[in-house]
Structure 1
């Protein structure tokens, strides 16, 4: 008679500890203090210079002093509970405050990596509020239409055809999404019967209504400088065989959760082939927390930031490649 309540108590305590542990950050940023720049350039961007500002997840602002381009622009960042249990929508006032704080006044293009909500949800509104053009897949175009964008403010991706915006040239490369995973029995894998968003989406929406619709990398050139932005932790074998870049923004989410053979191939097909002098990890932060607060690593529930970073640092140290981490709204001059 006593054993049953004790067993229930034990199960309850175990469940509580599991949940508490799962919802903690998967790493301690203080361990990587030397990889943060500790300064934010506020000077005018000099001729031939390019400044990068990290705005969380895979939202990266590039600015050469004349033209700005942005990937994704996911700023609303609804909470985990709201995302999991209700419909979500863009916070227009919050988006406008980020645009002001990040000094996004000369934006010409918003390039969406893929059409999951943590990449595409705010992108049409960023384009609308800045009079920039939204670039993306057919799925992204449908998100744009649902947000009220006009056709002249959107452009469908054409793979490997350079897009000229000021001195920037952006080439869209086909890629792959981070391998599917399950949390509490639910998966983010794309349903092969419904791989794209086929009709306009109007907010509010469930997060699951934002279908991937293809994943893309961006090769960006400005003068003699080359940058590659890869948001998702996956690769297309041989895609970078004849490409070298100066700077690589590299998605590291869930890297250490993949088989060792995948980890090695991912590094070899990206960092090793591109031969950058600088790698900036992205998509490492908990995007259920607001951008206004210091960024924290992804939750233990679905990631392991410390292991991801250790894997990357082991290889880049051996190859003598610099690694730089950025906090939210933190900027560095790349060149």
Structure 2
């Protein structure tokens, strides 16, 4: 029975309960994937390439974000190598560091046994955090900006196992020739009142970074693209959804690994220029979207699209597929650990 005294108390509690329920509901929606991969099933190769790599061919293996292993059967090179992938809650509310057992398990599962070099796109944690440990466990050389090298120093890498980028100067590793190109990070965004914009007063990691540290301690330190030539074929790996106007005017590639995170959240003129300055200029035969996945999920589980909290995978893909269909550019998606022979 509701008494005269209890009814007002319940009435007062209702707004608090309502707003709490509303917050929980929207939080649940925001933390759901921003797309459904089954809609793009035909774009996945669905092949497990376990055969040896034919002579002269290059095989790519995808590990989510911008972590890509290139292998010609003799030499392996890696971009980023972000394998630990700490959870959203740990990243937001705690300090993070590489997980040695996870890194080693990925190295073993992917048969990373001929790795010569690791090239880091920029020094945010989802690109650089595991790179020094991968270098240690494989004896590969770490290539990066001053910020990336400070992460390496903090992890105990020796100077001879690291090399600072020299944009525009080709580096030969086995039969691969890698040219580092200066680029731009995806435009800054704001989530829950916080932004990932670089502080102009502190654009770099200025001293050795010893982990565990907060995710925000991993400062961008410049963003880079990688032009990779193997024989007559060329690959471009672009991790971030941004461009330097005219940077690719004299470049044509066979394969383009293109970062598409937050593409559809940008103004329409930006989207059009991004596509023009990348796909239309480079004229790839094959485009492979990267940095589309929720990197708070472990690699032991299938990749899922970025969270609704900060992206729209479906809208990103619809834009890319519409434009590439018009220009007859093949598009393929890759799951975690999935491989594809590029040429």
TM-score by length of 2: 0.97
SS class of match (1:95): helix
For 1:179, the equivalent position in structure 2 comes to 187
The residue correspondences of 1:1-335 to structure 2 (distance < 5 A) are 1=8, 4-335=12-343
Deviating above 2 A after TM superposition, structure 1's stretches of 4 or more consecutive aligned residues are: 1-10
Structure showing greater radius of gyration is: 2
- Matched residue SS, 1:129: helix
Aligned mates of 1:3, 1:241 — CA distance in 2: 66
Looking at structure 2, the residues matched to 121 and 148 of structure 1 have their Cα atoms a distance apart, in angstroms, of: 13
Structure 2 regions of 5+ residues with no counterpart? Answer: 1-7
The alpha carbon displacement at 1:42 in A equals: 0.8
Aligned mates of 1:309, 1:254 — CA distance in 2: 11
Once the two structures are TM-superposed, the CA of residue 3 in structure 1 deviates from its matched residue by 5.0
Residue 264 (structure 1) shift:
0.5
> Alignment RMSD, CA only?
0.8
SS in 2 for 1:160: coil
SS in 1 for 2:78: strand
Shift of 1:156: 0.2
Q: What's the secondary structure of 1:9's corresponding residue?
A: helix
Gaps of 5+ in 1: none
Q: TM-score, normalised by structure 1?
A: 0.99
Cα shift at 1:237: 0.3
Post-superposition CA distance 1:34-79 (Å, at most 9, x none): 0000102111101110000001110000000100000000000000
How many aligned residue pairs are there? 335
Taking the aligned partners of 1:299 and 1:44, their CA distance within structure 2 comes to 36
Structure 2: distance between partners of 1:9 and 1:20: 16
For residues 302 and 240 of structure 2, the distance between their equivalents in structure 1, rounded to whole angstroms, comes to 22
Distance 1:30 1:269 in 2: 30
Structure-1 residue corresponding to 2:3: none
Aligned partners of 1:283, 1:33: CA distance in 2, in Å?
18
**What is the CA deviation profile of residues 173-207 of structure 1, one whole-angstrom value per residue up to 9, with x for unaligned ones?**
00000000011100000000000001000111110
